[in-house]
């Protein structure tokens, strides 16, 4: 019931349009019920008694009714769907806004394509239910009750026979609803898997071409497609049984009505052939709502299954702030880790009682073998993940006592895998500092040594970089990411292997930009090449989630420990 209440909540902003749509639908139903009554009067009175003027008036009146039906039908079809799309828009905005608030760990465990399916495909089914569901259900109820009352006034014994089929239909629909719900949920899950596989394959198209894996990708996608066909077939099988079963009930009803009506005409002089004709005309007013109810059951299952999947995401707890969380305005840049332990969901401990100190303006380098926890340290500072124990402080304040937004505004990050949006170079530099002027963007690009290259492009700063910056080289993407941080001008800088994927010449050029970027900022550097961190104020050698050694370059070499082993190996020394 709570699910229905939450669904109805999305009607509130559109209640005027909703009630106008329902009023127009009601008028349509009344027009359909009125037509057989006029026809009965024409047959019984105007034609039988040769009342030509009244017959013509009735004909003109019916023509006006049909014109009214045209206008009402247009209103219901157009504005009803507009209302459904607007509800879909609000749901999609709510869902996307909620996704933006979810912790990074949620996206570690959920496929992008699956989430896209919930935002697009599932919500389409919801909008169809939002429009057609109340309308079909309301019209079916009005037409069934209205036609039943009218038929009772004409000849009640035959009316009772006709409406005896309604309980049979309701029982049949109830028994088949659960099967429809189950198969509909499986169908949507498989659509999500197809979207996920498609997104994954298209994103990795260069890799599959490089390894001539097109046939493998085709086979893998075909497997998902085959599963979808199988599950969808189960849904259509359940729907076929439901639709065919209800059609059988209505067909049996027609046979019963024709036989009973013929017998009543034969044995009861009060039941005329005109009355029987009226009953036949009203059968459409009875079978039409049954068909609408069939459609309603299908739409309800599709829509509610989609809404349940919508609610699954909406029920995932968003990142919460402490009740007394502060919006920090000024940050000096003093970062401290105190006995921090952390593990990712479903994995072993990554950091164990890890401690680190970075004073204002210092450059702290993290080195060590892969998997030791270096990148995790970088992700914990902006609170992408919450620590298990210990504390992380910024200027002496536990970062959990600060709002995430205000903390992250004070941090700039440049990672090895730079993400650029499929937008212009200017907008990618501006990202996160949306009020920046073109002059400020250009100054940031100059600081990152990318301005001259941008100016050489035909469209300059308005050049579209392609999906994930595919039209740019690795070094160019890195420089745009650096320009983005220059523009943000944060007191804390995190460089997570920002040059490890570049060639030596490009790395030297990028390192110059990074050195300029690091000036006056507290900088945490994760380095793959030790030569890039020789000038760090302090180097921490990390292994198995712990600090194995720390000191400056010369001190660590003199200590003849793990760092020296790394250094000798990197420089081909024994």
The CATH number of the structural domain formed by 335-570 is 3.40.50.300
Separation between Cα atoms, residue 425 and residue 463, nearest integer Å? 6
- The secondary structure element, H or E, covering residue 414 is strand 411-415
Coil, strand, or helix at residue 31? helix
φ and ψ at residue 357, rounded to 5 degrees = -130, 130
What pLDDT, on the 0 to 100 scale, is given for residue 524? 92
Over the chain, what is the mean pLDDT? 81
CB 390 within 8 A of CB 398: no
State the number of CA atoms in the 13 A half-sphere of 315 facing the CB.
9
Separation between Cα atoms, residue 34 and residue 387, nearest integer Å? 70
Separation between Cα atoms, residue 216 and residue 204, nearest integer Å? 13
Give the model's confidence band at 460: pLDDT under 50 very low, under 70 low, under 90 confident, else very high. very high
Separation between Cα atoms, residue 524 and residue 273, nearest integer Å? 93
pLDDT at 181 over 70: no
Strands (E) located in 429-559: 492-496, 522-526, 538-543, 546-551
φ and ψ at residue 108, rounded to 5 degrees = -65, -30
Name 494's bridge partners: 413, 524
The CATH number of the structural domain formed by 2-314 is 1.20.1560.10
Name 227's bridge partners: none
pLDDT at 1 over 70: no
Q: Pairing between strand 546-551 and 349-358? A: unpaired
The percentage of residues in the chain with a pLDDT greater than 70, rounded to a whole number, is: 88
pLDDT at 393 over 90: yes
* Domain spans in the chain, listed from the N-terminal domain onward: 2-314, 335-570
CB 419 within 8 A of CB 468: yes
Say how far residue 174 (Cα) sits from the centre of its chain.
31
What pLDDT, on the 0 to 100 scale, is given for residue 146? 78
Query: C-alpha angle with apex 83: 78 to 85, nearest 5 degrees?
Result: 95
* C-alpha dihedral, 114 to 119 to 125 to 127, nearest 10°: 170
10 Å CB burial of residue 366 (0-12, 13-18, 19+) is: buried
Task: Concatenate the DSSP letters of all residues of 199-259 into one string.
Answer: HHHHHTHHHHHHTT-HHHHHHHHHHHHHHHHHHHHHHHHHHHHHHHHHHHHHHHHHHHHHH
Tens digits of residue pLDDT in 494-529: 988 776 656 666 667 677 777 777 888 899 988 877
Residue with tokens 């712990």: 546
Tens digits of residue pLDDT in 97-153: 888 888 888 888 887 777 887 787 778 778 778 877 787 777 777 777 877 787 788
Separation between Cα atoms, residue 257 and residue 231, nearest integer Å? 39
Separation between Cα atoms, residue 562 and residue 273, nearest integer Å? 104
Among 191-195, 498-502, 533-537, where is mean pLDDT lowest?
498-502
Across residues 446-468, what is the average pLDDT? Answer: 88
CB 354 within 8 A of CB 340: yes
Tens digits of residue pLDDT in 24-65: 888 887 777 776 777 767 767 777 677 778 878 877 887 888
Q: Which of 408, 387, 403 is nearest to 339 (CA)?
A: 387
Convert 292-328 to b/e letters by CB count within 10 Å (16 or more is b).
bbbebbbbbbbbbbbbebbbebeeeeeeebeeebeeb
pLDDT at 488 over 70: yes
- Check the CA dihedral 534-539-540-541 and report its sign: positive
What pLDDT, on the 0 to 100 scale, is given for residue 29? 78
- The secondary structure element, H or E, covering residue 528 is none
What pLDDT, on the 0 to 100 scale, is given for residue 96? 87
Q: Work out the widest C-alpha separation in the chain, in whole angstroms.
A: 121
φ and ψ at residue 540, rounded to 5 degrees = -110, 120
Among 117-126, 347-356, 559-568, where is mean pLDDT lowest?
117-126
CATH topology of 2-314 equal to that of 335-570?
no
What pLDDT, on the 0 to 100 scale, is given for residue 357? 92
Give the model's confidence band at 336: pLDDT under 50 very low, under 70 low, under 90 confident, else very high. very high
Give this prediction's pTM. 0.74
Across residues 282-306, what is the average pLDDT? Answer: 73
Going across the sheet that includes 411-415, the strands are 411-415, 492-496, 522-526, 363-367, 538-543, 546-551
What pLDDT, on the 0 to 100 scale, is given for residue 504? 67
- The secondary structure element, H or E, covering residue 209 is helix 205-210
Tens digits of residue pLDDT in 248-292: 777 777 787 788 888 888 888 888 887 787 777 777 666 677 767
Secondary structure letter of residue 46 according to DSSP: I
10 Å CB burial of residue 479 (0-12, 13-18, 19+) is: buried
Separation between Cα atoms, residue 436 and residue 459, nearest integer Å? 20
What pLDDT, on the 0 to 100 scale, is given for residue 397? 92
What pLDDT, on the 0 to 100 scale, is given for residue 399? 92
Residue with tokens 């229905």: 4
Separation between Cα atoms, residue 149 and residue 1, nearest integer Å? 32
- The contacts of residue 474 (CB under 8 Å, 6+ apart) are 418, 501, 502, 506
What pLDDT, on the 0 to 100 scale, is given for residue 209? 60
pLDDT at 244 over 80: no
Residue with tokens 């996206």: 107
Query: C-alpha angle with apex 441: 436 to 442, nearest 5 degrees?
Result: 150
The percentage of residues in the chain with a pLDDT greater than 90, rounded to a whole number, is: 12
Q: 334-343, 406-415, 510-519, 557-566 — which one is most confidently predicted on average?
A: 334-343
């Amino acid at each position: 019931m709570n699910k229905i209440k939450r669904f109805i909540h999305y009607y509130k902003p559109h209640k005027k349009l909703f009630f106008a749509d329902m009023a127009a639908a009601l008028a349509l139903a009344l027009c359909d019920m009125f037509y057989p009554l006029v026809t009965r009067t024409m047959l019984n009175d105007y034609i039988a008694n040769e009342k030509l003027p009244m017959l013509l008036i009735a004909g003109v009146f019916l023509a006006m009714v049909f014109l009214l039906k045209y206008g009402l039908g247009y209103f219901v079809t157009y504005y009803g769907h507009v209302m459904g799309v607007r509800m879909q828009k609000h749901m999609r905005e709510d869902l996307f806004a909620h996704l933006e608030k979810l912790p990074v760990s949620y996206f570690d465990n959920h496929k992008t394509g699956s989430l896209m399916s919930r935002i697009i495909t599932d919500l389409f089914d919801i909008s169809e239910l939002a429009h057609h569901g109340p309308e079909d259900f309301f019209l079916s109820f009005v037409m069934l009750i209205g036609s039943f009352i009218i038929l009772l006034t004409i000849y009640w014994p035959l009316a009772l026979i006709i409406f005896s089929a309604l309980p049979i239909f309701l029982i049949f629909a109830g028994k088949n609803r659960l099967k429809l719900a189950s198969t509909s949920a499986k169908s949507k899950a498989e659509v999500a898997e197809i979207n996920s596989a498609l997104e994954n394959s298209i994103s990795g198209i260069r890799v599959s071409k490089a390894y001539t894996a097109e046939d493998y990708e085709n086979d893998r996608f075909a497997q998902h497609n085959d599963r979808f066909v199988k599950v969808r077939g189960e849904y259509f099988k359940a729907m076929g049984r439901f639709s065919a079963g209800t059609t059988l009930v209505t067909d049996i009803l027609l046979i019963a009505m024709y036989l009973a009506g013929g017998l009543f005409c034969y044995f009861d002089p009060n039941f005329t052939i005109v009355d029987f004709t009226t009953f036949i005309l009203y059968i459409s007013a009875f079978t039409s709502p049954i068909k609408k109810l069939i459609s309603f059951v299908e739409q309800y299952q599709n829509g509610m299954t989609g809404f349940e999947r919508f609610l699954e995401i909406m029920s995932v707890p968003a990142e919460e702030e402490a009740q007394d969380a502060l919006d920090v305005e000024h940050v000096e840049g003093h970062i401290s880790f105190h006995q921090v332990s952390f593990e990712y969901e479903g994995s072993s401990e990554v950091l164990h009682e890890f401690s680190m100190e970075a004073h204002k303006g210092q450059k702290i380098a993290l080195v060590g073998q892969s998997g030791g926890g270096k990148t995790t340290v970088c992700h914990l500072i902006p609170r992408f993940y919450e620590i298990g124990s210990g504390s992380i402080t910024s200027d002496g304040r536990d970062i959990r006592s600060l709002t995430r937004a205000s903390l992250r505004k004070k941090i700039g990050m440049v990672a090895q895998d730079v993400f650029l949006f499929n937008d212009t170079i200017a907008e990618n530099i501006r990202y996160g500092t949306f009020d920046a002027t073109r002059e400020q963007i250009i100054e940031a690009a100059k600081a990152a040594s990318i301005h001259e290259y941008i100016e050489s492009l035909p469209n300059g700063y308005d050049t579209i970089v392609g999906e994930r910056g595919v039209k740019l080289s690795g070094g160019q993407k890195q420089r745009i990411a650096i320009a983005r941080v220059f523009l943000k001008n944060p007191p804390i800088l995190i460089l997570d292997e920002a040059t490890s994927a570049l060639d030596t010449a490009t790395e030297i050029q990028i390192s110059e930009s990074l050195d300029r970027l690091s000036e006056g900022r507290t900088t945490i550097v994760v380095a793959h090449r030790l030569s890039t961190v020789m000038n760090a104020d302090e180097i921490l050698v990390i292994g198995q989630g712990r600090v194995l050694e720390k000191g400056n370059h010369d001190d660590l070499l003199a200590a003849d420990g793990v760092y020296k082993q790394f250094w000798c190996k990197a420089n081909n020394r024994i």
